[in-house]
Amino acid sequence: MIYLTYYKNQLQLKIHINYRLIGITSIILFLTLHSTTDADESKVHFLDPIHQYDEIEPNDPFSKIKKKLEKSEMNSFSKSPNKYLAFLLKELSISIHSQLLVFSTTSLQLSKISPQNPRAIYFSDDVYVGYVPGGQIEVIGIDPQLGAIPYIFNIPTNKDSEHPLIHRSSRCMNCHASQDIGGIPGLLISSVVPGPGGGTIDRFRKDLTGHEIQFNDRFGGWHITGHNPFTQSWANHSGVMENGQIKRIKNPPGAKFKWDKYITNSSNLIAHLLLEHQVGFTNRCIEINYKFRELTNKQNLTSKNISLSNFLEKNSDELLSYLLFKNEAKLPPDTKFGNPTFISDFETKQTALGVSNGLRKLNLKNRLLENRCSYMICSNSFLGLPEQFKNLLLRKLKIILESKNEINLFSYLSNPEKENILRILSRSFYGFSNI
């Protein structure tokens, strides 16, 4: 755990580091080990009355336009499903170039998904849209307190006098609040070996999401357009059983479907990498929010104080390490990414705090971001964290960034990179300078 002890000496902040486990004592961070509490290890019960998941009116990005859509107050009708989809994405400030195609039957609309009819995914920091040609629109918005809120509805046509009713889908929670992701209402990225029809032959990393996952364990059942350096992954491949073994069969993008069913002809690697990172970040934040509520509502005062302290320290350390890309899987050299339009869309996007900032600048040489502090610090999932937790994490973050000495846990961050991150956060993250 990272424990911070503060001493004021001539307006200078000192942090003590204790490396007792490795026989080294130094100044900067106080490290020790703590046992986890039962609350840390338990699964979340998202329908527990203390969370009010079904009772509270959602405050996610899609909820802000839902009523206007249903009342046809927006110019949403079109002869073309693609035109409606493009309209919807624009209203949600989602780039059409974030499109990713998945041909495994890992969705509520699995009967319509196949290698001949992949499902398209579009996303921004706080909202995700899924569309299967010939099927319904699926949306998941991230509420700061409740987590993932799923919706499903039909695409309106010129024959409709009204916009179809938009349902908040409880069926989606069979997967999006499964025990695989700890029972939280979260996000899923499946990686499977799909059979010829898209059904699953084998699964990878079913309970894991995030940029720490090795690339060969990602992309199964998904298309990657353009250059694909991860040839050992199951991207652009199906499988078939032969003599008790799974045989790989190539399934290049566009070989079994027509691109005109989609609003763009891309399922680019950059979008894959960003989606993986932010799903991992979002799920971690949602889990912290739910466990914090359960911990602070279900224990007596004496045990709560002890358990809460452990919980805050342990989880702030873990989220801080993820925020700073501590164990990021390294990109292979000379990877050709392409898709400059999506790069521009991503880097110039306005954040939830109303500013575009340098945290969204991509590196794409040996890592994802130029400045290794996640842009998701401006997302709904982070901003909705309990103030007690968030303030502790931000204090730890500021200390790390202000330190000119090498901090063992974050030695991969150079002083110039830390200075860049500190400058960006001080300029664009309200109140960070005064933490």
Q: What is the per-residue pLDDT across 105-129, written as a single tens digit (0 to 9) for each?
A: 988 888 999 999 999 999 999 999 9
Tokens at residue 138, please?
Answer: 């699926």
Q: Please name the residues in contact with 180: beta carbons below 8 A apart, sequence gap of 6 or more.
A: 188, 206, 207
Does residue 14 lie within any of the structural domains?
Answer: yes
Please indicate, yes or no, whether residues 11 and 92 belong to a single structural domain of this protein: no
Rounded Cα–Cα distance for residues 338 and 326 (Å): 26
Distances (CA, A) of 97 to 163, 241, 255, 357, 377: 26, 35, 20, 20, 23
Does residue 39 lie within any of the structural domains?
Answer: no
Please indicate, yes or no, whether residues 5 and 84 belong to a single structural domain of this protein: no
Please indicate, yes or no, whether residues 241 and 192 belong to a single structural domain of this protein: yes
Rounded Cα–Cα distance for residues 381 and 383 (Å): 6
pLDDT value, residue 62: 95
Rounded Cα–Cα distance for residues 428 and 355 (Å): 7
State the average pLDDT over residues 356-377.
91
Helix (H) or strand (E) holding 245: strand 245-250
Please indicate, yes or no, whether residues 163 and 291 belong to a single structural domain of this protein: yes
Please indicate, yes or no, whether residues 128 and 20 belong to a single structural domain of this protein: no
Beta carbons of 266 and 97 less than 8 angstroms apart: yes
pLDDT value, residue 24: 25
pLDDT value, residue 344: 93
- Mapping DSSP onto H, E and C, the string for 116-139 reads CECEEEEECCCEEEEECCCCCEEE
For 290-311, the DSSP string reads: HHHHHHHHHS-HHHHHHHHHHH
pLDDT, one tens digit per residue, over 334-366 is: 888 888 899 999 999 876 555 557 899 999 999
Q: Per mean pLDDT, which range of 7-16, 71-80, 205-214 is the poorest?
A: 7-16
Rounded Cα–Cα distance for residues 66 and 327 (Å): 39
pLDDT value, residue 30: 31
pLDDT value, residue 235: 96
Does residue 339 lie within any of the structural domains?
Answer: yes
Please indicate, yes or no, whether residues 339 and 248 belong to a single structural domain of this protein: yes
Please indicate, yes or no, whether residues 300 and 215 belong to a single structural domain of this protein: yes
Predicted confidence band of residue 305 (pLDDT cuts 50, 70, 90):
low
Predicted confidence band of residue 157 (pLDDT cuts 50, 70, 90):
confident
Q: 4 is in which domain, residue-wise? A: 1-33
Taking the model in full, what pTM does it have?
Answer: 0.87
Does residue 156 lie within any of the structural domains?
Answer: yes
Does residue 409 lie within any of the structural domains?
Answer: yes
Does residue 323 lie within any of the structural domains?
Answer: yes
Beta carbons of 421 and 401 less than 8 angstroms apart: yes
SS3 label, residue 82: helix
Does residue 38 lie within any of the structural domains?
Answer: no
Q: Per mean pLDDT, which range of 194-198, 351-355, 397-401, 414-418 is the poorest?
A: 351-355
Q: Between these two residues, 65 and 428, which has the higher pLDDT value?
A: 65
Rounded Cα–Cα distance for residues 286 and 383 (Å): 11
Rounded Cα–Cα distance for residues 40 and 312 (Å): 10
Rounded Cα–Cα distance for residues 152 and 299 (Å): 37
Q: Per mean pLDDT, which range of 8-17, 48-57, 288-297 is the poorest?
A: 8-17
Beta carbons of 96 and 271 less than 8 angstroms apart: no
Please indicate, yes or no, whether residues 11 and 60 belong to a single structural domain of this protein: no
Rounded Cα–Cα distance for residues 411 and 396 (Å): 15
Strand 16-19 to strand 191-194: parallel, antiparallel, or no bridges (unpaired)? unpaired
Tokens at residue 335, please?
Answer: 């990877």
- pLDDT above 90 covers a percentage of the chain that reads 59
pLDDT exceeds cutoff 90 at 95: yes
pLDDT value, residue 351: 66
Predicted confidence band of residue 163 (pLDDT cuts 50, 70, 90):
confident
pLDDT exceeds cutoff 50 at 27: no
Q: Between these two residues, 262 and 354, which has the higher pLDDT value?
A: 262
Does residue 334 lie within any of the structural domains?
Answer: yes
DSSP annotation of 33: -
Q: Structural domain tally of the chain?
A: 2
State the average pLDDT over residues 256-275.
96
Smallest CA-to-CA distance from 58 within 128, 140, 143, 139 is with 143
Rounded Cα–Cα distance for residues 360 and 363 (Å): 10
Q: Between these two residues, 96 and 180, which has the higher pLDDT value?
A: 96
Smallest CA-to-CA distance from 399 within 427, 431, 435 is with 435
State the average pLDDT over residues 411-429.
92
Rounded Cα–Cα distance for residues 400 and 320 (Å): 10
Please indicate, yes or no, whether residues 61 and 24 belong to a single structural domain of this protein: no
pLDDT exceeds cutoff 50 at 35: no
Please indicate, yes or no, whether residues 19 and 124 belong to a single structural domain of this protein: no
Please indicate, yes or no, whether residues 310 and 172 belong to a single structural domain of this protein: yes
In the block, residue with structure tokens 């400058």? 423
Please indicate, yes or no, whether residues 17 and 124 belong to a single structural domain of this protein: no
Residue 51 has, within 13 A of its CA and on its CB side, a CA count of 25
Smallest CA-to-CA distance from 204 within 215, 191, 195 is with 191
